[in-house]
Amino acid sequence: MEELAPKLFDYTDAFSRNIGFLSREEQSVIKSKTIAVPGMGGVGGHHLHTLVRLGFEKFHIADFDEFDVHNFNRQIGAKMSTVGRQKADVMRDMIKDINPNAQIKVFSEGVNESNYDEFLKGIDILVDGLDIFAIKPRLELFAKADQLNIPIVTAAPLGMGTSLLAFDPKKMGASEYFNIDRSLSTEELMIRFLVGVAPKLMHDSYMIRKEVDIFKGRVPSLHVGCLAATSALGSIVLKIALDRGDVIYAPHGFHVDFYLNKYKYFWRPFGNKNPLQKLAIAYLKRKFAQSV
């Protein structure tokens, strides 16, 4: 049987089903934008995949880690064929297999103080894909993006839902919202980040507490939560890239949990300096201290 010749990639054809929700002019705008995605694991890999399916094709990606079997429950690049391979390399290859014209700059050492400037050079939007435990590089990268006036979008996979925050440095940057500085301990930074992203912590109601210890690296994450996060984030990145419609920027945000059938819109003036946030931070400190 004669083999069919492979069809040549054509951008217009590949993303033609976007047209109708997007105009042809908007699709061209998406094609021109450059997105930075640090972290190619649970949410980061899904974010990259979602954005390339929307038609974005210019990326900076970073991850120092390799895929392993314990990633299988949630990470899009984790398969038997990729165990032991660099996450950033696997995701680069996956994206190039979808869009051969994609321009992807890989930072195989991850993000750190030595490359923040290079990682963010020429970037239009910073998409947070870092693991919860990479709290210091995340917040340092956020601070650098604030200085460069780069919008940031972060969506946490929380149980069976997600909570999303977007930052416009001209309004309220991430550093101001989370109320952070270098003098804070890793534990304090993690608590401030968690409370800032999800003031209500809805997923805590069905979490098996004895199985969880955030400070010992025992934190559950579900595929459905990662998919919820990337759906929310992809939609907001699209709006920012196209300057299309109102974006809920910090100190506003939202949290949805499909398991609980709940949606919460939140507004925290002054971010973590808000009295309600200070109470939530103190409560979480006590709760974690009791579980140690």
What CATH number did the domain enclosing 226 receive?
3.40.50.720
Q: Which pLDDT value is given to residue 284?
A: 83
Max CA pair span of the chain? 72
C-alpha dist (Å) from residue 273 to 180, 181, 277, 288: 10, 13, 7, 21
Structure tokens at 224: 């459905």
Answer yes or no: is 3 within a domain: no
Structure tokens at 77: 């690049």
How do the pLDDT tens digits run along the chain, 292 residues long? Answer: 445 556 799 999 999 999 999 999 999 999 999 999 999 999 999 999 999 999 999 999 999 999 999 999 999 999 999 999 999 999 999 999 999 999 999 999 999 999 999 999 999 999 999 988 898 999 999 999 999 999 999 999 999 999 999 999 999 999 999 998 878 888 888 899 999 998 888 888 898 888 887 777 788 899 999 999 999 999 999 999 999 989 999 999 999 999 999 999 999 999 999 999 999 999 888 876 665 5
Rounded-to-integer distance, Cα 90 and Cα 88, Å: 6
φ/ψ region of 84 (left if φ > 0, alpha if ψ in -120 to 50, else beta) reads: left
Q: At what angle do helices 223-242 and 24-32 cross, to 10 degrees?
A: 100
Q: Which pLDDT value is given to residue 1?
A: 41
Rounded-to-integer distance, Cα 9 and Cα 201, Å: 44
Structure tokens at 220: 């559950």
Candidates 112, 123, 110, 141; CA nearest to 41 is 110
* Other Cβ atoms closer than 10 A to 199: 20
Q: Which pLDDT value is given to residue 242?
A: 97
Rounded-to-integer distance, Cα 232 and Cα 174, Å: 18
Answer yes or no: is 65 within a domain: yes
Answer yes or no: is 161 within a domain: yes
Structure tokens at 66: 């390799």
Answer yes or no: is 14 within a domain: no
Q: Which pLDDT value is given to residue 289?
A: 66
Answer yes or no: is 39 within a domain: yes
Query: pTM for the whole thing?
Result: 0.94
Query: Tokens 């970037």 map to which residue?
Result: 123
Answer yes or no: is 284 within a domain: yes
Give the domain extent around 215. Answer: 19-291
Quote the number of domains for the chain. 1
Compute φ and ψ for 107, nearest 5 degrees. -110, 90
Answer yes or no: is 4 within a domain: no
Rounded-to-integer distance, Cα 159 and Cα 204, Å: 8
Answer yes or no: is 95 within a domain: yes
